[in-house]
A and B are shown apart, each in its own frame.
Chain A
């Protein structure tokens, strides 16, 4: 989707994506969720794997925001300031998660990692499209996840990890919010960006489908993959509102996620 040089790209299952960012040798970098280890429940190994995965996702978020500063020097300064601030926030998240990982006996490279979000987002050639995917889609999805996770950690008596995740959530709201605000402005000024955004969303859908596990395929730890409809996280309506999603956008998202019944309940008050 961009004018990337061949050496900056990789081919995975027929899709051309941006090549992975640099990682230390201790990490095994895989290309899709299907190749990741996902340990069920909240066992010790599952706890370490969850934090390890989150730490790498936050590392990817620093990289994406940083690359946007590099690739779009003509973007308005105020928007670049938001991206620079995001680099700092994501860096603090990585540091906090890495500290927590070591405290519970984990280490860098203990599990495979995937840089899927970088490979998809940084394949896009407009800042609007990247904000639409990284901040408004991936990070907004994280709002939903982080709305639930602290409770899970508290249930096993891990107050510290719950606190870390709650702090991350409040930062992520600001990242989604600035993207929402700037996207509205950018689209108001140039309606053609809507086409770029629509193409980006379609690109993500196509890549996700291409990299999805095949029917009957087992995960790397020998477990069947959970059906997509069972993986849907409860939508974090309150924080999506905080992040400047409009009520109609939240309604539309709930509809797409199969939460019509919640919408009806909420409409009933």
Chain B
């Protein structure tokens, strides 16, 4: 059975929460990160994340929730995000975002596409497919920069696994609510 309208709204609102959280995280990093080229990369992607959040926020309204409604994910996933936001060095920030968090979120978006009805929920699938394409572009831009400036690459190749492990251990991110809480 595919997702109900309320379940779709919960997923979309949760995705929006994550997008806004990521936008704020890399925005916080811009002044804290010394490397000019990385400030430029993050500055570009703040706008990508904001537009993605905006599309989700408009779609959630069509699913009978308030315009630009966000739903806080389950606490275990929030902890993953908060741990990621505390990342300190530039190579870790870049790797954490582009090698772990974005691919992890992309997997969750693809999972949503597998579960939802592609005809009845086509507006959401279009938004999500567009975001997935943009994620690929963002990741590619980070790879190009790391090729240009090898000092931005991680010295400790095991570090991403340290962040990825708790990320994949959260099977579902939506904190389901009674219908009154979302409408």
Report A's interface with B, CB cutoff 8 A.
21-25, 59, 62-63, 66-67, 69-70, 73, 77, 80-81, 84-85, 87-88, 90-92, 94-95, 98, 108, 118
Contact = CB atoms under 8 A, between A and B. Distances in A.
A22 B34 contact: yes
Given A69-B23, A94-B36, A62 B30 contact: yes
Contacts of A98: 36
Given A91-B43, A94-B40, A21 B32 contact: yes
Which of B35, B50, B68 has the most A CB atoms < 10 Å from its CB? B50
B50 A66 contact: no
A70 B31 CA distance: 11
Interface in B42-97: 42-44, 46-51, 54, 57, 68
The residue in A25, A67, A77, A85 that gathers the most chain B C-beta atoms within 10 A of its C-beta is: A77
A67 B50 CA distance: 15
Nearest to B57: A77
Contact of B30 (A87, A95, A108): A87
A244 to B, nearest CB: 22
A263 to B, nearest CB: 38
Contacts of B33: 22
A80 B19 CA distance: 13
B27 A81 contact: no
Contacts of A81: 50-51, 54
Nearest to A23: B34
**Top-7 shortest CB links A-B:** A91-B43, A88-B47, A84-B50, A21-B31, A66-B30, A66-B27, A22-B34
Contacts of A24: 34-36
A166 B24 CA distance: 30
B39 interface: yes
A86 to B, nearest CB: 9
Given A85-B47, A94-B40, A70 B24 contact: yes
Interface of B: 23-24, 27-28, 30-36, 39-44, 46-51, 54, 57, 68
**Which of A24, A84, A88 gathers the greatest number of chain B CB atoms within 10 Å?**
A84
A85 B43 contact: no
B102 to A, nearest CB: 17
B50 A80 contact: yes
B24 A69 contact: yes
11 contacts: A21-B32, A22-B34, A66-B43, A67-B30, A69-B27, A69-B46, A81-B51, A81-B54, A84-B23, A84-B50, A91-B42
Point out which of A22, A24, A73, A95 has the most chain B C-beta atoms below 10 A from its C-beta.
A22
A91 B39 contact: yes
Contact of A77 (B41, B43, B54): B54
Contact of B44 (A59, A69, A88): A88
Given A87-B43, A88-B43, A88-B44, A73 B24 contact: yes
Nearest to A60: B31
A10 to B, nearest CB: 14
A77 B68 contact: yes
B72 to A, nearest CB: 13
Contacts of B68: 77
B28 A91 contact: no
Given A66-B28, A87-B46, A91-B44, 18 more contacts: A21-B32, A22-B33, A59-B39, A62-B39, A63-B30, A66-B46, A69-B24, A80-B50, A84-B27, A84-B51, A87-B27, A87-B30, A87-B43, A87-B47, A88-B43, A88-B47, A90-B43, A94-B39
Contacts of A77: 54, 57, 68
Contacts of A118: 31
Contacts of A88: 43-44, 46-48
B40 A62 contact: yes
User: Among the interface residues B27, B32, B44, which one has the most CB atoms of the partner chain A within 10 A?
Assistant: B27
B36 A70 contact: no
B54 A22 contact: no
Given A85-B47, A88-B43, A70 B35 contact: no
Contacts of B27: 66-67, 69-70, 84, 87
